[in-house]
């Protein structure tokens, strides 16, 4: 076999220890040189591909490989093919598909969109089976902007979530994750819970919905809503705070990212009376929010200090990144409302989490499943890795919450 050709050896069958070792030993004994190799095990079925240069006696190498495969009880196919010349590096992207469910037609539609962009799927890895199904596709070639646009359209048509990121060494490096609080880290809006106790919930909900949709100036709408809380006892704020429910998957997300050495922060248009508590409870590194003014044990209906609005959220992300020594390109922002747009836009990866339409359109990617730990899959972290880390690190688990999907 000359340098222009190679032998592609494909092994399939029931997986067990020793198969790869035996085949590589046979190749070594024949003086063959391994050019490339990949192996996948799906359930207990093995698919192993080895590309080799056989030297002068390809037929003898084939015979020895077939004898080894027969002894191992696996199937083998050997195909002579042209060896590829080294090619200039092309852009590679990690495309993550998430769905609940993730039907075959949706995966087919995404694969078609990728092909139509002139890109190729090099590898597919399952990231999770529950609480959602997710796969990561390693894609090479194609125009990045065209790829993102085509997959965003396909995701909307198929009612699934798709994220496209550059597949670089930095993807799983140390990052800063900045999250919104209301309707992101926690379920619901704190100010609406307070308004319930003040008897003004309907009025506050209307203002909140219009502000989050970008129809109202955030600062003016916030001051208007807070004014309606005048006279509310501070004990009511504590009562609401202590009964807030985290979004499903929030503890899993925080616990896993802390293990990986990520820097975690929250920035909220809500109130420090809540975010300070969350920072302590979850072990977050940074927290920033507005402060309700309290006089003689009651809310005055006013705020203390500068307002944390859309621009302030973006500024906070950059300030947290500088303090943590993390490049802004390595930051991730997660939010759902119009006042999150600046931080989503400035972050290296902006994720719209069950967000308003204006936010979904502006963010790098959108997650519509109700589990906050789906963000881990966007970072290429698998459910098996999460569970293995939980099993190996019970001390940290006890400090941040139960192992169940919280």
Alpha-carbon gap, residue 211 to 275, rounded angstroms: 20
| β 365-367/349-353 pair status | parallel
- Cα separation, 173 vs 40, whole angstroms: 25
Nearest-angstrom CA–CA distance, 404 and 255: 12
Alpha-carbon distance 58 to 358, whole Å?
Answer: 61
Q: Strand ranges (DSSP E) for 221-285?
A: 263-271
> Is 242 one of the catalytic residues?
no
In eight-state DSSP terms, residue 160 is -
The CA-based angle 298-340-153, given to 5 degrees, is 145
Cα(242)–Cα(277) distance, integer angstroms: 9
> Which residue in the list 161, 182, 309, 340 is annotated as catalytic?
182
Sign for the pseudo-dihedral over CA of 249, 339, 235, 203: negative
| Sheet with strand 92-99: strands edge to edge | 120-128, 133-140, 92-99, 161-166
User: Cα dihedral sign for 215, 157, 183, 350?
Assistant: negative
Q: Is 88 exposed, middle or buried (0-12, 13-18, 19+ CB in 10 A)?
A: exposed
Question: Which stretches does DSSP call E strand in 20-132?
Answer: 33-42, 45-53, 75-82, 92-99, 120-128
57 is catalytic: no
Catalytic: which of 3, 28, 122, 180?
Answer: 180
Q: List the catalytic residues.
A: 180, 182
């Amino acid at each position: 076999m000359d340098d222009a050709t190679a032998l592609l050896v494909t092994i399939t069958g029931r997986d067990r220890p020793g198969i790869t070792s035996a085949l590589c030993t046979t190749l070594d004994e024949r003086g063959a040189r391994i050019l490339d190799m990949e192996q996948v095990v799906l359930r207990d079925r093995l698919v192993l591909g080895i590309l080799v240069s056989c030297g002068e006696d390809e037929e003898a190498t084939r015979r020895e490989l077939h004898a080894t495969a027969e002894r191992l009880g696996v199937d083998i196919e050997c195909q002579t093919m042209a060896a590829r010349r080294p090619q200039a590096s092309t852009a590679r992207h990690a495309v993550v598909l998430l769905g609940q469910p993730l039907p075959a037609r949706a995966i087919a539609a995404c694969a078609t969109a990728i092909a139509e962009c002139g890109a190729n799927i090099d590898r597919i890895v399952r990231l999770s089976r529950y609480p959602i199904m997710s796969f990561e596709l390693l894609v090479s070639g194609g125009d990045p902007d065209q790829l993102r646009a085509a997959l965003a359209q396909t995701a909307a048509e198929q009612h699934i979530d798709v994220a496209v990121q550059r597949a670089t060494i930095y993807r799983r490096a140390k990052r800063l994750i900045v999250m919104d609080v209301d309707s992101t880290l926690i379920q619901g809006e704190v100010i609406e819970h307070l308004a319930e106790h003040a008897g003004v919930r309907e009025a506050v909900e209307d203002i909140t919905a219009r502000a989050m949709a970008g129809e109202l100036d955030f600062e003016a709408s916030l001051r208007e809503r807070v004014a309606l809380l005048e006279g509310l006892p501070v004990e009511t704020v504590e009562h609401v705070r202590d009964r807030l429910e985290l979004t499903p998957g929030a503890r899993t997300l925080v616990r896993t990212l802390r293990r990986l050495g990520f820097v975690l922060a929250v920035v909220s248009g809500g109130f420090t009376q809540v975010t300070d508590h969350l920072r302590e409870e979850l072990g977050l590194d940074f927290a920033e929010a507005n402060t309700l003014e309290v006089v003689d044990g009651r809310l005055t209906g006013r705020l203390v200090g500068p307002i944390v609005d859309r621009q302030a959220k973006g500024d906070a992300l950059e300030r947290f990144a500088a303090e943590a020594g993390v490049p802004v390109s390595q930051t991730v922002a997660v939010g759902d409302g119009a006042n999150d747009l600046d931080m989503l836009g400035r972050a290296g990866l902006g994720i719209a989490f069950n967000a308003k339409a204006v936010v979904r359109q502006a963010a790098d990617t959108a997650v519509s499943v109700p589990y906050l730990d789906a963000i881990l899959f966007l970072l290429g972290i698998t459910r098996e890795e999460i569970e293995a880390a939980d099993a190996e690190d019970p001390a940290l688990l006890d400090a941040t919450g139960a192992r169940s999907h919280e």
